[in-house]
Amino acid sequence: MIEVRGLTRRYGDVLAVDDLSFDVEPGKVTGFLGPNGAGKSTSMRIMLGLDRPTSGTALVNGRPYATFTEPLREVGALLDPGSAHHGRTGRSHLRVAARSNGIPARRVDEVIERVGLDRAARRRIKGYSLGMRQRLGIAAALIGDPGVLLFDEPINGLDLDGVRWIRGLLRQLADEGRTVLVSSHLMSEMEQVADRLVVIGRGRLIADATTEQIMSGLGHVQVRVRGPEPDRLLTALREHGFQAERVDALEVQVEDSTAEKVGELAHALHIPLHHLSEVRQSLEDAYMELTNNSVEYHGRELVGTTEVAR
């Protein structure tokens, strides 16, 4: 388990993390989300003893990371896939990690096989692609068979097969009862794999809830209805208090309602329907709404000769 309490980190005049508190529980994949500059990487570095907090604490299994004599047996982490010595082979990199933490040498072959680097293990890391370095970093995180795992953007550089593999790996690790914290900007992946989400912006906590709660808590359910009498349906819906509008020749869209209510009204009025469905917002929609006021770096796009803020 990871416990963060009142975590604050200043770099001169910059407040990177601001009184942040949350828990990462075992048996779940917890997504750690936020815009660039939100304080995610700084928080993870503090959890791993790579940076000191200005105030507050970050404990792993009730202890500061720095107090573990064989930390890889307690905590595995992937923060920077490019940090491995480029002159070593993948196998030698893992052997050094194992030896420094009293881990049997046979474990090296086990994690190499698990991450799919069998054919590349004897090659020098400088020849690895980003995806291969990601796999090597994950192997290093797993080598001590730890109960707590932290991954910062583990999907970067992976091809489709790799993305599906890491998705299954994260799920499997959590199902084994491990504590799994994953930072990512890929909302579609977090929507599929994360059980819980911690969302921060400008160093402060914005949301801490299950993925389903965050996706449904902001509402915005839409109902799409198609039928041969859209004008009659639209009039009936508005007369009964629904927020509805005509979308095209056959389709009507209803805001903040349910398919059941719309279907029951149409049935009661004998209005035929060809299609009836609910469209709920995605995690990306929910995330954008939650963090809208916390984005530091806004891109701009050119429309003709006019610059438009995004």
Domains of the chain in start order, with CATH, are 2-216 (3.40.50.300), 221-279 (3.30.70)
Report how far residue 23's alpha carbon sits from residue 135's, in angstroms, rounded to the nearest whole number: 27
Report how far residue 242's alpha carbon sits from residue 252's, in angstroms, rounded to the nearest whole number: 11
Average pLDDT, the chain: 90
Taking 80 as the threshold, does the pLDDT of residue 300 lie above it? no
Neighbour-count burial for 52-69, b at 16+ CB within 10 Å, e otherwise? ebeebebebbeeebeebe
- What pLDDT shows up at residue 84? 87
Taking 80 as the threshold, does the pLDDT of residue 37 lie above it? yes
* Residue 295 binned pLDDT confidence (cut-offs 50, 70, 90): low
What does each C-alpha distance from 68 to 65, 101, 174 come to in angstroms? 6, 10, 22
Matching residue, tokens 């909302």: 187
Taking 60 as the threshold, does the pLDDT of residue 21 lie above it? yes
* Residue 298 binned pLDDT confidence (cut-offs 50, 70, 90): low
- 34 Ramachandran zone, left/alpha/beta (phi>0; psi -120 to 50): left
**Neighbouring C-beta atoms of residue 156, cutoff 10 Å:** 14
The string of pLDDT tens digits covering residues 157-216 is: 888 999 999 999 999 999 999 999 999 988 888 989 999 999 999 999 999 999 888 887
The share of the chain scoring above pLDDT 70, in percent, equals 93
**74: Cα within 13 Å, side-chain hemisphere:** 17
- What pLDDT shows up at residue 168? 95
Taking 90 as the threshold, does the pLDDT of residue 146 lie above it? yes
Tokens of 88: 């070593």
Instruction: Give the mean model confidence (pLDDT) for residues 87-111.
Output: 95
